[in-house]
Amino acid sequence: MSRALSNMFRTSSRIARLHSRIYTSSPSPSHLLQPVAQVRWSSHSPLGASPTNARKPVTINTLQNLYRKDEPITMITAHDFPSAHVADHAGMDMILVGDSLAMVALGMEDTSEVLLDEMLLHCRSVARATKAAFTVGDLPMGSYEVAPEQALESAIRIIKEGRVKSVKLEGGREMAPTIAKITSAGIPVLAHIGLTPQRQNALGGFRVQGKNTSAALKLLDDALAVQEAGAFGVVLEAVPAEVASLVTKKLAIPTIGIGAGNGCSGQVLVQVDMSGSFPPGRFLPKFVKKYGDVWTESMNAITSYRTEVKSRAYPAQEHTYPMAMSKEEFSELEQLVLQKRASVE
């Protein structure tokens, strides 16, 4: 046999073996018995790393202890796994899955549009990330106003399906029977009075509440009513600082202020607002302090990525995976691919 013919047979044999390795997916029984290294080759990796200094889970008792010690309670909103993950790592006492996600995460015009099923999806996402903070899920408009029984059914879903630890609902004295119904079932309730965004149409828009004597007295009456009904705390939104401080002193449960001054038992902000996760020119309420500029950081990063892709600077060698084949094997693979392409054409 000529040397050329012999080489041709050897090359054909190697290609056949390579073809077999490429297209044979069932491992041999002996292969199954071998230990396999657990290596992630996915383009994604889980975000759920444990905090460096793990905290004990925050409970109702923890919040009550903070209140008794006059130590401010920290609260922030989150609407998905990443935003909850960073809030929990940052040491927040409470994380609220607020219906504000309608506007900051879902692009809706106001909070009244979000549905209970949508809230449940976001509650579950936040709950997966939160290891220590006390979680609260908003009851969206339409899920609790009809009757206390409807509210209890919705609250049970938020706890069981949403996997959060408590619920929040808007309204004062008129919602006291509803709060009592939910708390009697063992579900903690955070009340919300003052400016109640779900009712902004009835309030004439997003307006400061409790500005005059009669309005301030009504605010106090609402706060006492939700406390008597069993709420473990109450959010005071868009209330003059002096009035909020007075109401706080008259209660035996913590107040969480948002635009209600420094005399409240704690504070809450919408994470997207305080972190600067929005383009320039977006309206912000007077009470919001911008602690970061996530929009600019993200724009810079994404713009740099686009530029490097266009110029082929990315991906560089350090961003690519090594090949296990030898140059000879890869050459054989190229021949095989060319043969298959030719046969198709």
Q: Which residues are catalytic?
A: 237
**Of 43, 47, 188, 55, residue with least CA distance to 125:** 47
Cα–Cα distance for residue pair 10/33, rounded to 1 Å: 32
Residue 305 CA, distance from chain mean position: 25
Can you read off the two tokens belonging to residue 328?
A: 């000879």
Answer for the pair 226, 177: CB distance below 8 angstroms, yes or no.
no
Amino acid at 182: I
Beta bridge partners of 76: 95, 269
Handedness of CA 222, 224, 230, 236 (dihedral sign): positive
Cα–Cα distance for residue pair 100/233, rounded to 1 Å: 19
- In degrees and rounded to multiples of 5, residue 128 shows phi and psi of -65, -30
Answer for the pair 195, 146: CB distance below 8 angstroms, yes or no.
no
Helix/strand/coil for 111: helix
Radius of gyration of the chain (CA): 29
Look-up of token digits 């449940």: 120
Answer for the pair 194, 219: CB distance below 8 angstroms, yes or no.
yes
Q: What is the DSSP letter of 198?
A: G
| 285 burial via Cβ count (<10 Å: 0-12, 13-18, 19+) | middle
